[in-house]
Amino acid sequence: MAIALRKPIEIEKLKAANKIVGGALELLRANTRVGISLKELDAMAEEYILSQGARPSFKGLYGFPSAVCTSLNQVIIHGIPTDYKLQEGDIIGYDIGTELDGYFGDAAITMAVGKITKEDEDLIACAKDTLYHAIGEIKIGMRFKELSALMEEFIKSRGFVPLHNFCGHGIGKKPHEEPEIPNYLDGKNPKAGPKIKNGMVFCLEPMICQKDTKSVILENKWDVVSADGLRGSHYEHTVAIINGKAEILSLA
């Protein structure tokens, strides 16, 4: 399947959907505190998304029950909101998708609840810094596999490893489109596969483990953890390639 090249008017529509994602994430960031429940945070974000004329695109997607993926501590991605109330020292990941006028947005952050350990600070920083490093290195003609290899190298340079079997992806008129963009080099040749071109829109989302890259899906069929059982982190932006450079669409 070919990777879509978006016209400027389509990129504007994608930017509008993604701006709402950014706003919802900022709302959750501002309301993350000891004692608030994951379901309260989910409801808050859903209400905001609806108030902006969009819909929460994760709700019902592949059967997911909520508007927000709330990934707590050891859960790296796809956490289901529960009645659990945040406690001092937790780390929490929020991943949000929207649909507005037939175009999709998607982004994620991981953040501290109160005071956290230096190890957890480093874990969160690895996901965020990997994302921004990768975005800053994107060039026309670069292969997606080169981008994957670059992210893997950066993650390992920080003393962590990338989660396997989950990846970034294209986005547009569907929440997940071609290409798949792992956070590690799949195969041996980074010079293989499709090249990055103007008009492409995709999501980069480093998912960070401490020791083991192997992913495990928990009994609820959604929560994804590392086989090492340790805490993980996740950051994501939707980017568009405009005039040879990557522009982040998913900022508030």
What gap in Å lies between CA 244 and CA 30, rounded to an integer?
A: 34
Can you give the pTM of this predicted structure? 0.97
What gap in Å lies between CA 122 and CA 117, rounded to an integer?
A: 9
Give Cα 97 to chain centroid, integer Å: 10
Residue count of the chain, please give it.
252
For 107, the 3-state DSSP assignment is: strand
What gap in Å lies between CA 40 and CA 84, rounded to an integer?
A: 10
DSSP state, residue 53: T
Q: Residue 198 phi/psi, 5° resolution? A: -55, 140
What gap in Å lies between CA 221 and CA 99, rounded to an integer?
A: 24
Question: At 86, is the pLDDT very low, low, confident or very high (cuts 50, 70, 90)?
Answer: very high
pLDDT for 21:
98
Q: Which residue has the tokens 């670069």?
A: 142
Q: What angle do CA 186, 129, 136 make, to 5 degrees?
A: 75
Task: Render pLDDT for 223-238 as a digit per residue (tens, 0 to 9).
Answer: 999 999 999 999 999 9
- Check whether the bond before 190 is cis (ω within 30° of 0): no
**pLDDT above 80: residue 102:** yes
pLDDT for 202:
98
pLDDT for 221:
95
Task: Render pLDDT for 238-249 as a digit per residue (tens, 0 to 9).
Answer: 999 999 999 999
On average, the pLDDT of the chain sits at 97
Q: What is the mean pLDDT of residues 131-154?
A: 98
Map out the domains of the chain with their CATH numbers. 8-248 (3.90.230.10)
